Chain A
Amino acid sequence: MMEKMVFGRYLPLDSVVHRLDPRAKLLFIFVYVAIVFLANNVFTYGLLLLFTFLAIFLSKINIRFLIIGLKPLLWIIIFTFSLHLFLTKEGDLLWKAGWIEIYEGGLQQGAFISLRFLLLIFMTSLLTLTTSPISITDGLESLLKPFKKMKLPVHELALMMSISLRFIPTLMDETEKIMKAQMARGADFSSGPIKERVKAIVPLLIPLFVSAFKRAEDLATAMEARGYRGGEGRTKYRLLQWTMKDTILLLVLLILAVVLFYLRS
């Protein structure tokens, strides 16, 4: 059930994209998300599309797998597309049946907005698919360092993030286990009226919370026993290394942004 989810998972392969520095990738995504909104005509969208597919190709991730995995998000895209299609009334009237009117502008807007969605989803999933959660947190911690001066508890945030990321799969496994155990005792999670279904979740949630509390306690004890005293004066085991590739990535991004800016209408 959850094993089919692709969004937010890490796929350990060996590719150029995998070997990039997480800081570079995070910066890239940050800027990319912003420049996607620059695009507003066929050329700019075409360029972005091309660029995104090039990135997917370089990451060696099977594009079919990526598309299948994003099926749950397809509904949002279809929804926004049809919203634009039926509600935007610009340009020439293309088709009319009863009260349904479809305008050229609506069609174009809808297509562009869905494309924008698609581009964003593809690129962000590419980030999580090619970067292990641990290196994402390392990258974030390093990028957030300047904010330490503004009293932002960067180390604590990064620690919390890496612990939560680490425990997502564990908690997922546990959820599935408890679900199965309750199903074996006659619980029914997938049918019946909504009220019954909400009720059926209690036997799943309570054990999950209880074990999460217990786990937190055990983990805190284990960390203290190993001499953890907070972020002050710690050294790092995993060192991030900025290489030529990363500089090139950011340069390419800069060029892309400039080209987009000139091509937009």
Chain B
Amino acid sequence: MDIQLQEVEYRYAAGTPFEHKALHNVSFTIPSGTYLAIIGHTGSGKSTILQHLNALLQPTNGQVHIGDRIVSSEKKEKNLKDVRKRVGIVFQFPEHQLFEETVEKDICYGPMNFGVSEEEAKQRAKQVIRQVGLSEEILNKSPFDLSGGQMRRVAIAGVLAMEPEVIVLDEPTAGLDPRGRKEMMKMFATLHKERNLSTILVTHSMEDAALYADEMVIMHQGEVYQKGKPRELFSKREELFQLGLSVPEVVRFQHRFEEESGIKLEKTCLTMDELVEQLQLVHKRGEGR
């Protein structure tokens, strides 16, 4: 399902002294099956964009096309369930949204709201709980007895159980330990490939953006600063620094290397493997000492 934003503008508390323009002239398209990363400084409007993707917010100007639905400022949207069913959002710290007595019930809450039968929902719960890396025994526990990391996984499972076509992740790994972080990002990457989901990731981690995203949008003060492939965007190191952003460690290393040795690598490397490969090439050609 394609999602398209057309000149979206959003103002919080429009018409009061607290008015605040969070988005301005934001346009981009997310074709079906893309892994898109949105990066930007704190307060650049990333989270506001997210809420437009399943019509939690309606633009104050412009249009959002979600599949064949058009959400615009003119009319108040009713019956948004079909949109919300197709676009699942995992909010920041999703563990705060758990409320049921058991993990199973909580996971079933989403699907059952969208009209899935109870048996089917339970079936899905069993399936997704394994996908997020937990065992089935946990289904009968209270979500409030779990550890922070487990709660996070249960919350994510609750969104996955809705079987959305588009999954939107708002810093899904914030506050997790390095291992949990890696596992979770890998899980989303696998899901993305297996189910052919569109994945939209808002993150502060340049490493994650470089590793997983096909496309990247850089937000700056409520506007799209640039959109492109991670490789392109991360090669403009200076510009990113000026926006208060950084580049992945690998890119930084490559830059230091190029500066000190005077040897230019063929491309901007995004992963450790690419970097090793490039350095071996340099070594083979016999440059450097």
Contact = CB atoms under 8 A, between A and B. Distances in A.
Interface of A: 3-4, 6, 11, 62, 65, 68-69, 174, 177-178, 180-188, 191, 202-203, 206-207, 210-211
Contacts of A3: 12-13, 16, 18
Given A65-B16, A180-B91, A203-B109, A186 B84 contact: yes
B162 A186 contact: yes
Contact of A185 (B12, B13, B96, B113): B113
A185 B51 contact: no
Interface string B93-114: 0101111100000000110011
B158 interface: yes
Contacts of A4: 13, 15-16
Interface in B153-208: 158-159, 162
Interface residues of B, number: 31
B88 interface: yes
A185 B109 contact: yes
A166 B182 CA distance: 37
Contacts of A69: 16
Interface in B96-152: 96-100, 109-110, 113-114, 144
A142 B235 CA distance: 60
Given A177-B96, A180-B56, A181-B96, A188 B158 contact: no
Secondary structure call for the B interface: mixed
A64 B270 CA distance: 55
Contact of B96 (A65, A183, A191, A211): A211
B232 to A, nearest CB: 32
Contacts of A206: 99
Q: Which are the 3 A-B pairs with shortest beta-carbon distances?
A: A186-B113, A185-B110, A206-B99
A174 B110 contact: no
A174 B96 contact: yes
A231 B54 CA distance: 49
Nearest to B161: A185
Contacts of B144: 210
Contact of A187 (B51, B87, B113, B162): B113
A68 B188 CA distance: 46
Nearest to B164: A184
Contacts of A184: 54, 56, 84, 87-89, 91, 159
A139 to B, nearest CB: 24
Given A181-B97, A183-B84, A62 B56 contact: no
9 contacts: A4-B13, A68-B16, A177-B91, A184-B91, A185-B113, A186-B162, A207-B96, A207-B99, A210-B144
A181 B91 contact: yes
Of B89, B110, B113, the most chain A CB neighbours within 10 A belong to B113
A186 B114 contact: yes
B46 interface: no
Given A65-B17, A184-B56, A186-B162, A203 B99 contact: yes
Contacts of B158: 185
A62 B17 contact: yes
Nearest to A205: B99
Contacts of B17: 11, 62, 65
A201 B234 CA distance: 45
Contacts of B94: 181
B81 interface: yes
B85 interface: yes
Contacts of B54: 184
Contacts of B12: 3
Contacts of A187: 113
Contacts of B15: 4, 68
A63 to B, nearest CB: 12
Contacts of B114: 186
A11 to B, nearest CB: 6
Contacts of B16: 3-4, 6, 65, 68-69
Given A3-B16, A186-B110, A206-B99, 16 more contacts: A4-B16, A180-B51, A181-B89, A183-B56, A184-B84, A185-B97, A185-B110, A185-B159, A186-B114, A202-B99, A203-B99, A203-B100, A207-B96, A207-B99, A210-B99, A210-B144
